[in-house]
Amino acid sequence: MKDVYILGIESSCDETSCSIVKNGVEELATVISSQIDIHKNYGGVVPEIASREHVKNITIVIEECLEQANMTMDQIDAIAVTYGPGLIGSLLIGLEAAKTLSFIYDKPLVPVHHIAGHIYANNLIKPLTFPLLALVISGGHTELVYMKDHLYFEKLGGTLDDAVGECYDKVARVVGIPYPGGPSIDKLAALGKHEYKLPIPLNDDSYNFSFSGLKSAVINLAHNEEQRGNKINKENLATSFQDVVVEIISKKTEKAIVEKDIKNFVMAGGVAANRALRAKLEEVCKQHNIDYTFPAIRYCTDNAAMIAAAGYYYYKQGRISDKKVNAKSNDKLN
Ligand code: KG4
Ligand code: ZN
């Protein structure tokens, strides 16, 4: 069978990225230009600045990627691009670049859902097998997704308010850690002990999550300690918070594994880099004797390799678009 080379483009938030992936499984080259250092100064991603940075970087990352893979556009079979969800101004830059390449080189254009991309980051480690449960945990999402086959997505549940990554970033801000605080809270949590009592949010039988109450509880706790003249112990706060997150996420994930008779479990999104969550969910998978894959740490956060990997399956299924496709800041995974 002829090999299929997909060029992927991702620009939904604050990373401009291009990647070339062979047959949906083999990464040939990936270039990521991150804007974190710029947005750090503002405590979060500033959409207007993000769009401008994407404009500056998009052609550079595409050229660099082709150079690293030692390939030309003639050798590419299709162009996969994130069309949504994400920041509209950011998405448009990647999408317009993909449309232009598709037009000039007469290549099929394959619009990819950003969350499908996160899930398919695992395909670069080990090909997905089904029935599969994906735990999607990022700065914008917290979802349990059931897949009976490639690109068949059924959302079992998700957050009713804040995403878990967003909650990590807010808790980090409370203890004076700059954006994005998730990785630092993860590191601090490994050093502390469970000193502070925090509520386990939405501890019910559903597959839904809620993190805004937990976020408020941390903010109130820090505020009360300050008013009493007590210094908050950062490590212990991080441990107390992370223990609650791990407990509720692993409880609901385990329930889905059992009830849906899952054979394969994958994690996806920025928070999938979290060491405590990885350790706990690995334990759960081993206990239930199911296969599991975690994405490479560098591909937990946004990148184009995951878009190119997912794009291969979209392409195989003929999900090719005309040049009229528009960016969508919000769109259901289907
Ligand atoms: O997937 P991603 O790059 O962006 C979205 O699509 O949202 O995820 C970014 C999020 C941030 O909230 C960041 O703090 C969080 O992932 N994150 C972590 C860790 N590494 C990144 N959260 C907890 N523990 C980590 N090790
Ligand atoms: Zn993402």
Whether 321 is covered by a domain: the verdict is: no
pTM of this structure:
0.94
Q: Report d(CA 272, CA 262) in Å as an integer.
A: 19
CA of 84 to the centre of ligand 2 (A): 10
CA of 101 to the centre of ligand 1 (A): 30
CA of 294 to the centre of ligand 1 (A): 14
CA of 138 to the centre of ligand 2 (A): 6
Whether 328 is covered by a domain: the verdict is: no
Whether 285 is covered by a domain: the verdict is: yes
Residue in the structure block whose two tokens are 């239930």: 288
Same domain flag for 276 and 195: yes
Given this model, what pLDDT does residue 178 score?
A: 85
Same domain flag for 168 and 246: yes
Atom number of ligand 1 nearest to Cα 140? 7
For residues 275 and 245, the answer to whether their CB atoms sit within 8 Å is no
Q: Which residues are within 8 A (CB) of 114 and not within 5 positions of it... i.e. 6 or more apart?
A: 10, 12, 82, 84, 85, 86, 302, 307
Cβ–ligand 1 distance for 301 under 6 Å, the answer yes
Identify the helix (H) or strand (E) that includes residue 27.
Answer: strand 26-34
Given this model, what pLDDT does residue 39 score?
A: 81
Q: How many domains does one find in the chain? A: 2
Beta bridge partners of 113: 84
Same domain flag for 81 and 137: no
Half-sphere exposure of 60 (CA within 13 A, CB side): 10
Same domain flag for 152 and 285: yes
Closest residue by CA, ligand 1 atom 5: 139
Q: Report d(CA 211, CA 168) in Å as an integer.
A: 10
CATH classification at residue 235: 3.30.420.40
Domain that holds residue 154: 129-294
For residues 53 and 16, the answer to whether their CB atoms sit within 8 Å is yes
Phi, psi values for residue 62, rounded to 5°: -65, -45
Given this model, what pLDDT does residue 47 score?
A: 87
Same domain flag for 199 and 275: yes
Of 324, 272, 271, the C-alpha closest to 109 is: 324
Same domain flag for 161 and 276: yes
Atom number of ligand 1 nearest to Cα 277? 24
For residues 95 and 83, the answer to whether their CB atoms sit within 8 Å is yes
Same domain flag for 140 and 187: yes
Given this model, what pLDDT does residue 30 score?
A: 98
Given this model, what pLDDT does residue 41 score?
A: 79
Separation in Å, CA 247 to CA 65, 140, 241, 250: 40, 20, 10, 5
Q: How many CB atoms within 10 Å of residue 157?
A: 17
Whether 22 is covered by a domain: the verdict is: yes
Given this model, what pLDDT does residue 99 score?
A: 98
Whether 322 is covered by a domain: the verdict is: no
Given this model, what pLDDT does residue 225 score?
A: 92
pLDDT block averages, 10 residues each, the chain of length 334: 96 94 98 85 83 93 98 98 96 98 98 97 97 96 97 97 96 90 96 96 97 96 94 96 98 98 97 98 98 94 97 98 93 88
Same domain flag for 145 and 59: no
**In which order are the strands placed within the sheet that holds 154-158?**
154-158, 142-147, 132-137, 264-268, 291-293
Among 301, 329, 330, which residue has the most ligand 1 atoms within 8 Å of its CB, making it the best to mutate? 301
Instruction: Give Cα 172 distance to the centre of its chain.
Output: 19
CA of 233 to the centre of ligand 2 (A): 31
Whether 243 is covered by a domain: the verdict is: yes
Cβ–ligand 1 distance for 294 under 6 Å, the answer no
Among 138, 184, 275, which residue has the most ligand 1 atoms within 8 Å of its CB, making it the best to mutate? 138
Q: Which residues are within 8 A (CB) of 240 and not within 5 positions of it... i.e. 6 or more apart?
A: 192, 194, 195, 196, 197, 198
Same domain flag for 173 and 80: no
DSSP 294: -
Given this model, what pLDDT does residue 334 score?
A: 79
Whether 325 is covered by a domain: the verdict is: no
